[in-house]
Amino acid sequence: MTDPSTRGGGPADPADLAVTIVDGYVDEPAHFGVPPYLSTYPRYTAGALVDAGVPESSITYHTIDELRDDRRKRADVANADLFIYVGGMTVPGKYVGGTPAEPDEVRELGWTADGVTLLGGPVRFGVGEENAGAQETERDDLDYDFVAKGDVEAAAHDLVANGLEGFGNRMRETQEGDRWARRGAFVVEQHPNHPDYLICELETARGCAYRCSFCTEPLYGNPSFREAEGVVGEVAALADRGVDHFRLGRQADILAFGGDGEAPNPDALRRLYGGIREAAPDLQTLHLDNMNPVTIVDYPERSREAIRIIAEHNTPGDTAAFGLESADPVVRERNDLLVSAEECLEAVRVVNEEGGWRPGDDPGTTPGSDDRVRGPSTGPNASPRLPKLLPGINLVHGLKGEREETFDHNRRFLQRVYDEGLLLRRINIRQVMAFAGTEMSETGAEIAEDHKRQFKQYKREVRETIDNPMLERVVPRGTVLPDVHLEYHQDGLTFGRQIGTYALLVGIPGERELGRTLDVAVVDHGYRSVTGVPYPLDVNDASMDELTTIPGIAKSTAGDVVVGRPYATLEEVPVDTIDLSAYCVATESEPATIPGVGESGIPAAGRSD
């Protein structure tokens, strides 16, 4: 590690400091920060700096993608009195909105800086050769003056308070975190996606009551919960800065919020969700991430009530990620996993029943004998919207005890979910990353490497036999996806996503202007993506590619439609075997209403939406 006394020489007075924060993005079991997501780390760090006396105007924030796209911005790194890098990947993934920093890039930034340098975030747990699965990691200071072995925001605060001479590694206090969350909200305005395509990750808790062999979340200690009022205050501060997309993603189990770390507290969740809705009445997205299936198994009735509260207040398309990790009982025992396949299946049923209804459904079109709307909402009478809240399944390979039968156990579990008519929003299959401090550090990536070929074949089979038909069930043809943000062009298509948890990738015929948003109706399905057309599609203006994308319209029929234009009504269009009203209007002056969406286009706040 470099001697900081030989670096910088900048002013000790916080009011005179120039600070640059670079966000290399994070992906943790209970925290996400790859665009369009913005994690808590840079926001809380900015707030801690302000709390220590650094003016907001002296704090510069950049993403790693900004520095790649415009190398001139690296001058802000070179010229800063204090340069802070935040980032780190402890789970591998594939990303569309941004590319996480590789270790060599992080090291280069440290070399670029002339001032004092601080490294923090989950990068402190270790780095591999690249951001990928089946990796062994090691702790590395990456040539920075200081490494925050506790909270990077606490380190930044104390480093500034101590005249850039040093700090004692510590975790922040709850009141500090609430204050820094509010004071650091200003930094969102410097994010390149602000304000239209940015969703802020919100922390409700850190740590975990359980100790799965591979997971880094227990390294944060036992569960530590924020109060609902602190989270609501953070939302209010972010909303004042133009943020209207939020995700309660920074926790191991949303059901445990406000409780003892294990049992649900429905009243606390009601205060949390109700307070967020009051603090940001015009919000467009309110989603979550992690929900522990063991909580549903151990506390079924309180969990049902809590899930109903979430589904009442959230926006459609929400996903509760379940950490099954493996359906193999041998792997479960060897790695201290929490639920059996049978128990996880029951948890999937519960979330389907309490949250798997769609805005616009009514009790007569959904399962159940009472007058309450329930899920799973499927079939021809289901509303053409995404369900409110569905489970997702996480499966990890390369764990201790994995064998050939492990892949069969996982296949059978997923097939049972499908055969029961249940809905899963997403199936995440990955190989383990082994970090120091976890039990998997002893095994490393050896098992994952040995099974890599089998893993790839199994993953492909799941995509073909489960993912594709499940996606057709969750988002059948005619489902309307409001506000799809257009991100990139490929093979004559424009691809985009809604903002939210595990948002679907949507391909739209033609190359459209990027950065816009469109309402889209689903017309076809891939393994993990869908094809759509703009909704409502004007049949008098639609291209041949758009018309032939609609199920039942062949190229010759599309030609007949084009020749016969214009049409005053859909009944005049020469198509006999399909209902065009699910996708089209005859004229642009004939507006279409998306079920469950108000006149503003913003999803209504729960209840019957």
Q: Is 242 contained in some domain?
A: yes
Across the chain, which distance is largest between two alpha carbons, in Å?
80
Count CA within 13 A, CB hemisphere, residue 55: 7
When mean pLDDT is compared across 412-421, 537-546, 574-583, the lowest value belongs to 574-583
Confidence band, pLDDT 50/70/90 cuts, at residue 80: very high
What rounded mean pLDDT belongs to the chain?
A: 88
Confidence band, pLDDT 50/70/90 cuts, at residue 259: confident
Q: Decide which of 418, 452, 474 is a domain's last residue.
A: 474
The pLDDT, as a whole number, for residue 24 is 95
Q: Is 609 contained in some domain?
A: no
Q: Decide which of 452, 474, 496 is a domain's last residue.
A: 474
Confidence band, pLDDT 50/70/90 cuts, at residue 599: very low
Give residue-wise pLDDT tens across range 533-549.
999 999 999 999 999 99
The pLDDT, as a whole number, for residue 590 is 47
Overall average pLDDT of the 355-381 stretch: 90
Task: Identify whether residues 461 and 485 lie together within a single domain.
Answer: no
- Provide the CATH number for the domain around residue 573: 1.10.150.320
Q: Is 606 contained in some domain?
A: no
Overall average pLDDT of the 149-163 stretch: 95
Q: Is 124 contained in some domain?
A: yes
The pLDDT, as a whole number, for residue 133 is 41
Q: Is 400 contained in some domain?
A: yes
Q: Is 37 contained in some domain?
A: yes
Task: Identify whether residues 246 and 286 lie together within a single domain.
Answer: yes
Q: Is 604 contained in some domain?
A: no
Task: Identify whether residues 460 and 483 lie together within a single domain.
Answer: no
The pLDDT, as a whole number, for residue 30 is 76
Q: Is 423 contained in some domain?
A: yes
Question: DSSP per residue over 352-375, as a string?
Answer: HHHH---TT--GGGSSSSSSS--S
Closest to 418 in 3D by CA, of 368, 465, 375, 383: 465
Task: Identify whether residues 461 and 536 lie together within a single domain.
Answer: no
Task: Identify whether residues 379 and 469 lie together within a single domain.
Answer: yes
Q: CB-based burial of residue 340 (10 Å sphere; 0-12 exposed, 13-18 middle, 19+ buried)?
A: middle
- Provide the CATH number for the domain around residue 127: 3.40.50
- pLDDT higher than threshold 60 for residue 212: no
Task: Identify whether residues 275 and 378 lie together within a single domain.
Answer: yes
The pLDDT, as a whole number, for residue 609 is 34
Task: Identify whether residues 439 and 498 lie together within a single domain.
Answer: no
Place of tokens 């899930």: 307
Closest to 17 in 3D by CA, of 144, 163, 191: 163
Please state the domain count of the chain.
Answer: 3
The residue range of the domain holding 140 is 14-175
Question: DSSP per residue over 474-528, as a string?
Answer: HS-TT-EEEEEEEEEEETTEEEEE-SSTTPPEEEEES-PPTT-EEEEEEEEE-SS
Residue type at 335 in one-letter notation: N
Task: Identify whether residues 171 and 211 lie together within a single domain.
Answer: no
Read off the pTM.
0.90
Task: Identify whether residues 416 and 517 lie together within a single domain.
Answer: no
- Provide the CATH number for the domain around residue 416: 3.80.30.20
Q: Decide which of 413, 448, 474 is a domain's last residue.
A: 474
Count CA within 13 A, CB hemisphere, residue 1: 15
Phi, psi of 180 (to 5 degrees): -70, -35
Task: Identify whether residues 435 and 554 lie together within a single domain.
Answer: no
For 301, 380, 407, 607, the CA distances from 468, given in Å and listed in that order, are 33, 19, 19, 30
Task: Identify whether residues 411 and 262 lie together within a single domain.
Answer: yes
Task: Identify whether residues 562 and 453 lie together within a single domain.
Answer: no
The pLDDT, as a whole number, for residue 217 is 60
Confidence band, pLDDT 50/70/90 cuts, at residue 516: very high
